[in-house]
Each structure stands twice: as C-alpha cells, then as structure tokens.
Amino acid sequence: MAIFEGAGVALITPFHEDKSVNYKMLGTLLERQISNKTDAIIVCGTTGEPATMTEEERFAVIRYVVEKVNKRVPVIAGTGSNCTETAIRTSRKAEALGVDGLLIVTPYYNKATQKGLYEHYKEIAASVEKPIIMYNVPSRTGCNLLPETVVALAKDFKNISGIKEASGNISQVAKIASLGKNLIDIYSGNDDQVVPILSLGGKGVISVLANVMPQDMHDMVLEFLGGNVKRAMELQLKYVNLIQALFCEVNPIPVKAAMKIIGYEVGGVRLPLTEMEENHRTLLKDRMKEAGLIWQDAY
C-alpha cells in the first residue's frame, strides 16, 4: 500500500530574522496545509533546507511536525546523506520520532555507481522498518538512479516502496513503470510533470508549489485519479508559468519569497543561499498575479 496518494508538500522551514527555526510559523503552515487537503507532509526535504541545519535542529523540527500533525496525514522525513552510515543513523532516529515514512535522496557528490547506489539503499532498508521513498534528482546529486536499479531494490526490499522521480526524463519514468509494474510507487518530483507521471501510473507528487497552493495541487492529483483527466490537465497547464517562476532561482529561494508575498512571514534562507534577485521577484509576482494568487502589489 502506498504511503500516500495525492499531493504531498515539500515543506519549507520558516526562520526568524536571526535564522533560528520559527516553530510558531511552522505550526501555522502545517495547519494551513492540512485544512487545505494536503495528502502528506514531507519535512526536512530539500525545500526545508536540511543541508544548513544541525542534526539537532533537524530532529527537533521532525519531532515538532510529527507531534503537531498527530497522525492526521502521513509525515515523511528527509533523512538522506552522501554517507551511508549517516543516513542509517538519521533514518533510525526519525523512525523513533514517529514518522510514517522516509525520503532518502541518492548520495550526492560521491557519484556512486549503480552497484554503489544499490548497496547504499540496501544497507538503509535493512536498518529500518518504515517505508522508504527513494529520491532521484540528478541535477542536484550528480548521479542518476536508473530504472533497473530502482526495480531491483523494490523487488529485494519490501520497505522500499516508492520513488520521487525528479530527473525530468519522462522516458525514464515510463521505463520504471514498465519494469516495476506494481512493485514501486512513483511520485513526481517536478511540479510541471504531475499529470504526465500520473498518466504512467504515478501515485502523486511531492510538491514545492503545494506550499503556496495546497488545495490546487491536491485537486490536480485527485481529479486525475478520479477519472477527470481534462480538469487535471487544465490545472497542470494553468500553473506552468508559475511553476517555472518558482524555479527561476534555486529552490527554496523563490517559494519562500512567494510565501511572504501572500502574507506568511517565513523568513529568509540560510547561506550559501541568498535572497531573491529583484528582477526574479518581479517575475514571480507577475506569475502569481496571472495565477490569481495576488491582486495588488505586495512584498
């Protein structure tokens, strides 16, 4: 059984002005997501800036999210690392904190072979009980988890249940779906490819855009799964320009700016990320106006 079907939000981590975690705002964001029908919360994924958090901060944020959500929707924690032993340790800790699943990115920078990637996930899967969603994002990690490796892992380890596919390569997704059949749940890792991946049997999306408009992302997936492909397609195409604007600078710089535009004081980003360039902010605001998110100048 899939950890979730629908739209899971790749949740931002709000900060105070001094860049400490703003738990009050985090609680506000969680309640907004749940009341707007988000199907899962993904905490400390790339969008949550875990790369610039200490381990103590990451575990504190995961604990807070688990307790605040209180089983209303699944909570999935990002626990990946380019060190297998570190990924095992953080995955065990997150599991002990009560998460419903683990999102584990391919090891970055090392440029592991397919054998190395298999062994990496094998060791992690053998060390935890919670279901694992592998995360393939070659543009960030420098390596690509190939369909044959994905399917081999899904066959060999029952708790490897899904993959967040952010390669951008629809042909690769199709091959995973063809080889894997019912072995592996596929989630879009790109907001502009949700409907195409659903058409190949995908279960949903792990979405950056859902931070800004959770209800619409939920509706996009549920309309498709309910047979209303036309409506799902309309929603997908309606937000293409906004999605592009949300990635005109590296994630999560634009989505944090977008949240501030609509009135949520989520703070800035931690270095080495920097605040959004003014020309990109103008573009983002224009795309948000086109999408009906704002009606006057803001931010």
Q: Which of 135, 187, 239, 264 is catalytic?
A: 135
Asked if 106 and 163 touch (Cβ cutoff 8 Å), the reply is: no
* 203 is a catalytic site residue: no
> Which entry of 130, 164, 256, 285 is annotated as an active-site residue?
164
From CA 28, how far away is CA 9, in angstroms rounded? 14
Integer Cα distance of 210 and 9 in angstroms = 5
The candidate with the shortest Cα–Cα distance to 123, out of 162, 99, 159, is 159
- 260: annotated active-site residue: no
| Distance between CA atoms of residues 194 and 205, nearest Å | 6
146: number of Cβ within 10 Å = 16
161 backbone dihedrals φ, ψ, rounded to 5°: -105, -20
Report the length, in residues, of the chain: 299
Q: Give the residue from 5, 59, 7 showing the smallest Cα distance to 220.
A: 7
Q: Where are the alpha helices (DSSP H) in 38-113?
A: 55-69, 84-96
Task: Name the β-bridge partners of 43.
Answer: 77
Rounded CA separation 208/211 (Å): 6
> What type of residue is 31?
E
Closest CA to 217 of 200, 201, 198: 198
Nearest to 99 by CA among 50, 62, 133: 62
d(CA 288, CA 295): 9
* Catalytically annotated residues: 135, 164
